[in-house]
């Protein structure tokens, strides 16, 4: 029987897929990706993400991404509460996300921008806690600040998306009932720290993701110089997940079937309502 996978984080609603969205999802399914979690980033795309998840039979999460906090309005939190309450009975709603903190982008690290990020993040964690929903958190040079809020307001479970922190930070997330998302970044030969972490972390702490169309794996990535020379960057899609999984299996010396079984179980533990893929 072919292996089945869950892509725990993708943006199928993104403009990069405007011309062939459903074909992209069909290709991923043909490659063995049985289920995807479609993750929203701002108020304007909540409905589109939900509609798309229902069209494809996938799951979805609603939230305000830290990179979108500069244009977000405080009233968006009340609107998010209303949407989550309205659709709380929808089995395809699996989390509040993508939320979190990004201390990598310089424009978001000024005192005012950082405070704004932290306010939106805390408000959304509070909503998730109140409504008993998991969270999907964006982690970029922000693990300790994310963990501080989660310790003060524990949620039922969650995923640390695109995790690239220390072993100690990984252990702190898993102690709070979080799984750690690994994707295309792990496939790059120069990502020595992340690849070492992928080998050392307990298998029951890991889930797979693509972040499509972002976070391209090594075989799709082109440097700025290569792009300037006319080499196009390959488009990352959920269909890349099995190949990403093979990289992780090779790093861990693990049969691919065992990895598929474990990461599916881990995804279902982190996010309510995900199907049991064979």
Could you tell me which residues are annotated as the binding site for a divalent metal cation? 9, 11, 98, 138, 161, 211
Under 8 Å CB-to-CB from 59, ≥6 apart: which residues? 35, 36, 37, 38, 53, 92, 93, 94, 271, 273, 274
Q: Is there a contact between 241 and 5 (Cβ–Cβ < 8 Å)?
A: yes
Q: Is there a contact between 96 and 130 (Cβ–Cβ < 8 Å)?
A: no
**Helix pair angle (167-175, 192-200), 10° resolution:** 40
**Helix pair angle (111-130, 143-152), 10° resolution:** 40
Query: Could you give the CA distance from residue 124 to residue 64 in angstroms, rounded to a whole number?
Result: 8
The structure tokens listed for 231 are 């080499």
Give the annotated binding-site residues.
Answer: 9, 11, 98, 138, 161, 211
Q: Is there a contact between 238 and 184 (Cβ–Cβ < 8 Å)?
A: no
Q: Is there a contact between 206 and 179 (Cβ–Cβ < 8 Å)?
A: yes
Residue with tokens 């998730």: 128
Element (DSSP H or E) covering residue 83: helix 75-86
């Amino acid at each position: 029987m072919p292996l089945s996978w869950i892509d725990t984080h993708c943006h199928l609603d993104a403009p990069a897929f405007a011309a062939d969205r459903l074909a992209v999802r069909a290709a991923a399914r043909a490659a063995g990706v049985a289920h995807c979690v479609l993750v929203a980033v701002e108020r304007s795309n909540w409905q589109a993400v939900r509609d798309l998840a229902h069209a494809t039979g996938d799951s979805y999460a609603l939230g305000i991404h830290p990179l979108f906090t500069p244009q977000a309005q405080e009233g968006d939190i009340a609107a998010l509460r209303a949407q989550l309450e309205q659709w709380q009975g929808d089995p395809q709603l699996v989390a509040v996300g993508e939320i979190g903190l990004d201390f990598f982008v310089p424009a978001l690290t000024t005192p005012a921008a950082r405070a704004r990020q932290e306010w939106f993040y805390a408000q959304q964690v509070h909503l998730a806690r109140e409504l008993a929903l998991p969270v999907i958190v964006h982690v970029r040079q922000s693990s300790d600040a994310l963990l501080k809020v989660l310790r003060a307001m524990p949620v039922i479970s969650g995923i640390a998306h695109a995790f690239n922190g220390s072993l100690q930070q990984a252990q702190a997330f898993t102690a709070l009932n979080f799984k750690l998302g690994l994707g295309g970044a792990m496939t790059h030969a120069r990502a020595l720290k992340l690849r070492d972490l992928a080998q050392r972390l307990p298998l029951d702490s890991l889930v797979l993701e693509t972040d499509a169309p972002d976070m391209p794996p090594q075989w799709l990535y082109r440097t700025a110089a290569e792009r300037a020379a006319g080499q196009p960057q390959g488009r990352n899609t959920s269909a890349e997940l099995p190949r990403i999984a093979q990289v992780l299996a090779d790093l861990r010396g693990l049969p691919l079937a065992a990895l598929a079984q474990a990461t599916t179980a881990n995804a279902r533990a982190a996010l309510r309502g995900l199907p049991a893929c064979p």
